[in-house]
């Protein structure tokens, strides 16, 4: 007897990123996260909480709904309040990534601001 299993190749967070989800309630065991609602401060605060839990950023992807942070554990977090290009949240993103030792804040800010507003795809993290 053969058992067939269907496994989606695109994660729910990746689908949310590409489908333009504006609001959702993130869940992480043992951490009380605020509802994501396209607010930069909410996204940054939630990411700080996840980082404090030991999650380390492995990849960063830009999409319609914001930025998808992929952690070393495989866990994913959609920050709907962060963007690249000519967006007010670029400075917050650069500051966050600088705090996490990905490079100099000014250089990261210039890197993220140089991307087109409608950029979709992997984002350079900076220098580790």
Average pLDDT score over residue span 8-21: 88
The answer to whether residues 16 and 69 touch, using CB atoms and an 8 Å cutoff, is: no
In a domain, 103, yes or no: yes
pLDDT digits (tens, 9 = 90+) for 54-92: 999 999 999 999 999 999 999 999 999 999 998 899 999
What is the total count of domains within the chain? 1
In a domain, 25, yes or no: yes
- The model's pTM is 0.90
Local confidence band at 128 (pLDDT 50, 70, 90 cut-offs) = very low
Local confidence band at 124 (pLDDT 50, 70, 90 cut-offs) = confident
In a domain, 110, yes or no: yes
Q: Give the domain range for residue 99.
A: 16-119
In a domain, 34, yes or no: yes
In a domain, 127, yes or no: no
In a domain, 52, yes or no: yes
Based on the number of CB atoms within 10 Å of its own CB, is 32 exposed (0-12), middle (13-18) or buried (19 or more)?
Answer: exposed
In a domain, 97, yes or no: yes
């Amino acid at each position: 007897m053969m058992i067939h299993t269907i496994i989606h190749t695109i994660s729910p967070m990746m689908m949310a990123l590409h489908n333009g989800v504006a609001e959702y309630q993130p869940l992480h065991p043992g951490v009380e996260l605020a509802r994501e609602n396209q607010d930069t401060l909410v996204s940054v605060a939630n990411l700080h909480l996840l980082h404090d839990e030991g999650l380390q950023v492995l990849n960063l992807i830009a999409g319609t709904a914001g930025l998808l942070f992929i952690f070393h554990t495989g866990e994913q977090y959609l920050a709907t309040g962060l963007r690249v290009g000519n967006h007010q949240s670029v400075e917050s993103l650069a500051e966050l990534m600088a705090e996490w030792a990905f490079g100099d804040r000014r250089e990261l800010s210039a890197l993220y601001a140089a991307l087109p507003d409608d950029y979709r795809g992997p984002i350079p993290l900076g220098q580790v």
